[in-house]
């Protein structure tokens, strides 16, 4: 009779192994949703710190507890927390992590030290890589053969070296400004870099000078504006051809028309 009872006892042990600790053991793979949920737990925030993380044995559901004081963050009752997790998920639960350290033993994860500790600074892809290295995500099968999740890395962009467009010089300009009877003829000095530049234009009758800026755009269009020493000023639009002539129209501060033409490159 004792021999029969001994055989029954050994059979129960073989088919119902007793866990050696308070944390889960064996093969476990986390779903993508649980990975994101675990990252939420790890990062904490709003005055909350990670305390205990429980997961269902199929890796599809989980629940966790936080604490409000990192220095006094005591673990909860495993028995009570496990029952709470199972009531919430409807599945068997085991404790997966304590604070930011994964304690689940799967033959790869040591369950202690820096290797098992998850930094709160990891992004979702970095976390997946870390979990894969520990055997909890992706196709990892053993500590000897750990496969990281396939992360599509952006190809290193090769910057094209584009020679900056620069143009300096002096050209003839003919400008009609409503209020001046005669056509204003003279020269304009320009300093143009990357299709943006400055100009200086003397006014007739010793009325002063005008300084301005212009911006050239694709398609042969652009804008201009000038401010003059006699408190006058004007602004408008222009049309241009690279290394060619320019025509511009606009109005001054008194709504008077201003037109000009700049000669082509000689």
Same domain? For 32 and 92 the reply is yes
pLDDT of residue 266: 60
Given 133, 153, 186, the domain boundary residue is: 133
Same domain? For 32 and 123 the reply is yes
Angle subtended at Cα 217 by Cα 212 and Cα 223, rounded to the nearest 5 degrees:
35
Same domain? For 49 and 125 the reply is yes
Same domain? For 93 and 170 the reply is no
Given 108, 133, 158, the domain boundary residue is: 133
Given 133, 148, 178, the domain boundary residue is: 133
Reported pTM:
0.47
**In angstroms, rounded to a whole number, what is the distance separating the alpha carbons of residues 53 and 25?**
14
Domain of residue 255, residue span: 166-262
pLDDT of residue 190: 64
pLDDT of residue 148: 39
Looking at the domain assignment, is residue 138 inside a domain? no
Same domain? For 128 and 194 the reply is no
Looking at the domain assignment, is residue 51 inside a domain? yes
**In angstroms, rounded to a whole number, what is the distance separating the alpha carbons of residues 99 and 116?**
11
Beta carbons of 6 and 14 less than 8 angstroms apart: no
pLDDT of residue 98: 96
Looking at the domain assignment, is residue 86 inside a domain? yes
Looking at the domain assignment, is residue 78 inside a domain? yes
Same domain? For 120 and 210 the reply is no
Paired residues of 63 in beta bridges: 54
pLDDT of residue 35: 96
pLDDT of residue 18: 41
Looking at the domain assignment, is residue 11 inside a domain? no
Question: How many structural domains are present in the chain?
Answer: 2
3-class secondary-structure state, position 225: strand
Same domain? For 110 and 36 the reply is yes
Alpha-carbon torsion 96, 98, 101, 104, what sign? Answer: negative
- CA nearest to 96, candidates 82, 80, 108, 113: 82
Same domain? For 38 and 108 the reply is yes
pLDDT of residue 117: 96
Same domain? For 29 and 123 the reply is yes
Residues 6+ away with beta carbon under 8 Å from 16: none
Low-confidence ranges of the chain (pLDDT < 50): 1-20, 140-163
Q: Which two tokens stand for residue 223?
A: 């804008």
Beta carbons of 261 and 247 less than 8 angstroms apart: yes
pLDDT of residue 170: 77
pLDDT of residue 239: 84
Looking at the domain assignment, is residue 207 inside a domain? yes
Looking at the domain assignment, is residue 206 inside a domain? yes
Looking at the domain assignment, is residue 49 inside a domain? yes
């Amino acid at each position: 009779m004792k021999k029969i009872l001994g055989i029954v006892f050994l059979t129960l042990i073989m088919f119902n192994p007793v866990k050696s600790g308070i944390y889960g053991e064996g093969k476990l793979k986390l779903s993508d949703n649980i990975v994101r949920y675990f990252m939420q737990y790890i990062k904490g925030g709003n005055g909350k710190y990670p305390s205990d993380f429980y997961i269902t044995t199929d890796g599809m559901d989980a629940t966790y507890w936080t604490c409000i004081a990192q220095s006094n963050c005591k673990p909860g009752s495993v028995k009570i927390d496990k029952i709470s997790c199972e009531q919430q998920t409807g599945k068997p639960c085991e404790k997966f992590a304590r604070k930011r350290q994964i304690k689940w033993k799967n033959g790869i994860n040591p369950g202690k030290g820096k290797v098992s500790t998850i930094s709160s600074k990891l992004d979702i892809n970095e976390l997946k890589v870390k979990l894969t290295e520990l055997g909890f995500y992706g196709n990892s099968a053993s500590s000897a053969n750990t496969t990281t999740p396939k992360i599509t890395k952006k190809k290193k962009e090769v910057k094209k070296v584009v020679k900056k467009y620069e143009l300096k010089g002096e050209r003839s300009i003919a400008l009609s400004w409503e209020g001046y009877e005669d056509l204003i003829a003279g020269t304009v000095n320009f300093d143009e870099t990357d299709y943006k530049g400055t100009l200086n234009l003397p006014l007739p009758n010793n009325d002063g000078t005008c300084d301005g800026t212009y911006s050239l755009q694709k398609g042969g269009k652009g804008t201009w504006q000038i401010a003059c020493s006699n408190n006058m000023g004007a602004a408008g639009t222009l049309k241009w051809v690279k290394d060619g002539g320019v025509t511009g129209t606009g109005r001054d501060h008194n709504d008077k028309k201003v037109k000009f033409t700049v000669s082509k490159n000689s």
